Amino acid sequence: MQYREYDLDIKSVDEKGIIVCYANTFNYVDKANDETIQGAFKKTIAEHTAKGTMPKMLFNHNRNEPIGKWISMEEDEYGLKMTGQLILEVQRAREIYALLKADAINGFSIGYTVKQQQYDRINKITKLLEVELGEVSIVPFPCNDQSILTSIKSILETGAIPQPSIIEKELISHFGLTKSQALAFMSTGYKGLNTAEEYEAEKSIKESQDVKLDQLLGLLKKS
């Protein structure tokens, strides 16, 4: 069994312990130089569906500490999307829930077996083409900073409005906006993106000028 760890956004854990997350993202090279290719989970999802089973929800990959259950999983163009629930009647699950709410724990990890992979010798990347998913654990230390919990949709469905920080995170991590663009979009909507681009261009020019000035000062000091 191999493991891959990811970031966890605790804002998506509600009072009932419901978690909606991406347990893995596609086309992203993690710190172990592994890249999961879209379609890698299709067979394991089909096998779990046929058996009426789901991967286990554990704490830190400890088989003796189940803390909840995964309810559903599916692949989309972004990654492996999963919904689960902490069983709050279990003492350990209540403790994990409290730690998540306090942001004392901020990651989760998948336990999997590689069924098919391909090594890219030029880029030195291992491409995971097919994996068998065994469990998904909540862990203290994540390593993939692109994986996210998706709570915006579930929040909107209740008639509530997501916190600005959640939307801002989605704009940056999922849609590829810069920090300035995300802030501009949150402030003034779509039209604000042009202002953000102008700001980034001016910032880039200023940084370039600062570098040249530093180089000039360095030459003057030597002369």
What pLDDT was estimated at residue 9? Answer: 43
pLDDT beneath 70, residues of the chain = 1, 4-13, 106, 141-166, 168-177, 190-223
For 7-23, b/e burial (b = at least 16 CB within 10 A) is bbbbbbbeeebbbbbbb
**The pair of three-digit structure tokens given for residue 136, joined into one six-digit string:** 């998904």
pLDDT digits (tens, 9 = 90+) for 175-207: 666 777 777 777 777 666 566 555 455 555 555
What pLDDT was estimated at residue 143? Answer: 46
CA separation for the pair 197, 182 (Å, rounded) = 11
**The pair of three-digit structure tokens given for residue 154, joined into one six-digit string:** 């579930």
pLDDT digits (tens, 9 = 90+) for 86-96: 999 999 999 98
By CB atoms closer than 10 A (0-12, 13-18, 19+), residue 76 is exposed
What pLDDT was estimated at residue 50? Answer: 96
What pLDDT was estimated at residue 66? Answer: 93
Residue written as tokens 């604000």? 192
CA separation for the pair 71, 95 (Å, rounded) = 21
CA separation for the pair 78, 70 (Å, rounded) = 19
Whether residue 51 contacts residue 33, with contact meaning beta carbons closer than 8 Å, is answered with no
H-run or E-run covering 180: helix 179-188
DSSP state at residue 11: G
CA separation for the pair 155, 152 (Å, rounded) = 5
